[in-house]
Each structure stands twice: as structure tokens, then as C-alpha cells.
Structure 1
Amino acid sequence: MCSPSKTFSRKPSFKIQQPQSSFSHSIRTFPDPDCPKNLPPTRSMGTVVSALQRPTIFVSMDSVHAQFVRETISSNKVVIFSKSYCPYCSMAKEQFRKLNVKATVVELDQREDGNEIQAVLGEMTGSRTVPRCFIDGKFVGGGTDVKRLYEQGILQKYFQ
């Protein structure tokens, strides 16, 4: 018997749709020799699930959270948006400690509005990952970026 969902042991309770994203290239289809040419090929469940797109979160850059981020960045020489348990955040903070530079650290996991602030940072910098490090109002990168700047002697030049 020919079935587009031949790889399932039972019929799925959801409808498999082709994602409307750039991830569509990761869906692998397998031709089913028993199927006539007019039926869609069988899909592997693992690749369909991995191709699902995260919901788009609307971020208002006029919100109080965006205003807080902009004001914090503009009124401090060094700002690190961090999470207290993150090893990459610790790595970034350590580079500034080595230079005896006082950084303003905003621990997102210790704030009620941490997720909203992180969404604003994602919109501003292109990524929601932490740390998000700023010097003189300019985004300079995350933990490994700041460590690389320190090792290359570039980070020190910001504070001479």
C-alpha cells in the first residue's frame, strides 16, 4: 500500500507541511518505489522536526526595555549583558578584570525582564546569545570575541 507517511508506524496526528523558511533544504525526501508519481515522497520524521521554525517574536525598539538597553549602553564605557551561570559571560568579564576596567554588568537571569532585554539585544546585535559586550556604545561581540581582542592586544587599546 502506498502512503506518504510510510515511515510512521501509525498515522501521525499532525499534518506535515513544507516549512516556509530557509531551513527547507534540510528536509530529506525518500522516493517510495510503491507510490505513484503523483503522491509526495516520504519524509523522515527527524528532519521534519529539526526544520521547524522558531516562532517570530516581535520586539518593539520603542519599549521601556529597549530604552533601558540604549541608556545603559550610552551612559557606561563598558557594558556586559550576561547570565550569572554562563561560562562565556565569565570569560568576557575576566578579560576586563585583567585590565582593571570596571564594567557595568547586567545579569539577565536575575531580572524579571531579562527575557525582554535579551530579545532587544537580539534585535540590536543580530543574536540573543550572551554575553553581549559593548565598549563606548559599540557592540564588540561575545565572550570568545572579547577574549580574542584581549589576546591580540586590541582590547587594551580601548582603555589607553
Structure 2
Amino acid sequence: MSFNNLDNLYRQVIMDHYKNPRNKGSLEDGSLIVDMNNPTCGDRIHLTMKVEDGKVTDAKFDGEGCSISMASASMMTQTIIGQDMDKALKLSHVFSDMIQGKDFEDEDMDLGDIEALQGVSKFPARIKCATLAWKAMEKGLNEQQ
């Protein structure tokens, strides 16, 4: 597949998550709640997660922001549901390295749709947009430990 076709496919995946977000909403009853924002561009996220026996059993988000920010939140919730807290945190570090254009280790992980955000590394001003939901997840899980 040529670079242009791959770039177009990634763009379609991002727009699909933006227009049809997965896990949009809020969880109730004792869930972890994290609110974060990116004051430089106005993105904001309200993340709720349910953790049982060290595993993320559910996650939902609400918020507003650019397509990168909201698509990333959708992808992040899809990726962490069912993961142990340690694996979810490791995924966040892998994502952070990927989004910054660094080498990243993913041999034991299925990154799924989040690989579509790899091109954001070419746009440094958008990195904070892409990482907002992931930083919120890290904050919530670290406070849980």
C-alpha cells in the first residue's frame, strides 16, 4: 500500500472515531472520574473509568475538542477496556512515544486503531490534543494505585 493510500486510510479511521465516538458518555456508581483540559486549544475531557480487581472493566468519556482529541479519546477507551491497570499504563507510554515520533515497543500489544494517530508526530502543536485523554487515564489509574 502506498504512503498516500495509508495516510488516507488513517485519516478515515480518525474521522470515523470523531464522528462516531466509541464509549461516549459517563459511568456512575463509584467510578474513577478525571477532568482535564488543554488550555492552549480548548480541548477538554471528562473521563470515567471502572476498575475492578486491578482491571479496567469500563471506560467512557465526554468532552469537546478537535477531531484529533476526541478521536484519540474514543480509541483510548476502546483500547484500555479489559486491560490490567499496568498494561493500560504501559499502552499509554507506548502511545506517548509513538505520538512524539520516538521508537516504541509494541510487540506484545495490539495497538489497533490508535496507530492511525502516528502521523500526528509531524504536527507538534497537535501532540497535546492527541495525548489529553491518555494523560487523563494515567492520572486516574495512578490515583487508584
With the shorter chain as reference, the TM-score category is under 0.3
Structure 1 or 2: more strand by fraction: 2
**Greater C-alpha radius of gyration:** 1
**Higher relative contact order structure (alpha carbons within 8 Å, sequence separation ≥ 6):** 2
What TM-score results when the alignment is normalised by the length of structure 1? 0.25
What TM-score results when the alignment is normalised by the length of structure 2? 0.26
